[in-house]
Copies of this chain bind each other. A is one copy, B any other.
Amino acid sequence: MQRKSFIGMNCSIARSLDQVGEWWSLLIVRECMQGSKRFDEFQNNLGIARNILTTRLEKLIEAQIIERFPLDDRANTDGYRLTQKGEELYPVLVALLQWGDRWLAVDGKPPLVLTEDETGDPIERITLHGKSGKPLSYRNIRFNPGPGATERTHMIIDRRNQRVLGKS
């Protein structure tokens, strides 16, 4: 199914979703972060149809999130691994994980606990904050035009600050 692209919106969230917002895409990235490398591993672990997996992998390769590499133990077969760009999606996945742990865990029991390998300390909950470290919600965050703002971006920002912060 051809989808409307979000790329025309002057918004980094939309652009990100354009590359990883397809059904399955972030779970394929998750599989890479869990050490899967071979087509068959992705297929078995995800229970995804082969043709859909092929399409998704191609799109992720085109977006330079995943790259092919020669597998040591299998002549003539390539594996798949994350690029730097792909590895930097980790905070997105952990934010989804923490939200799921909090709101969707069966009987409130998270399946997984992430820790810092070196120290054994649990990974802290992702929070948004400025220099002061005070945790922020979207209600006390202000939008400002960045260097890539268009006239429309300015309009959206003004309306947004007015409505959410009660002032422009």
The binding surface of chain A is classed by DSSP as mixed
A87 neighbours in B (Cβ, 8 Å): 137-139
A73 neighbours in B (Cβ, 8 Å): none
With beta carbons under 8 angstroms apart, the residue of B13, B109, B140, B146 that contacts A117 is B140
Shortest Cβ gap from A78 to chain B (Å)? 17
Chain A residue total in the interface (Cβ 8 A): 95
In the complex, are the beta carbons of A110 and B12 less than 8 A apart?
yes
A143 neighbours in B (Cβ, 8 Å): 34, 112-114
Judge if A106 is at the interface, Cβ distance under 8 Å. Answer: yes
With beta carbons under 8 angstroms apart, the residue of B26, B141, B163 that contacts A115 is B141
Q: Of A94, A118, A139, A163, which is in contact with the most chain B CB atoms at under 10 Å from its CB?
A: A94
Q: Of A10, A88, A91, which is in contact with the most chain B CB atoms at under 10 Å from its CB?
A: A91
Judge if A39 is at the interface, Cβ distance under 8 Å. Answer: no
A107 neighbours in B (Cβ, 8 Å): 148
6 nearest A-B pairs in the assembled complex, by CB-CB distance: A12-B100, A35-B163, A121-B130, A109-B148, A116-B130, A16-B100
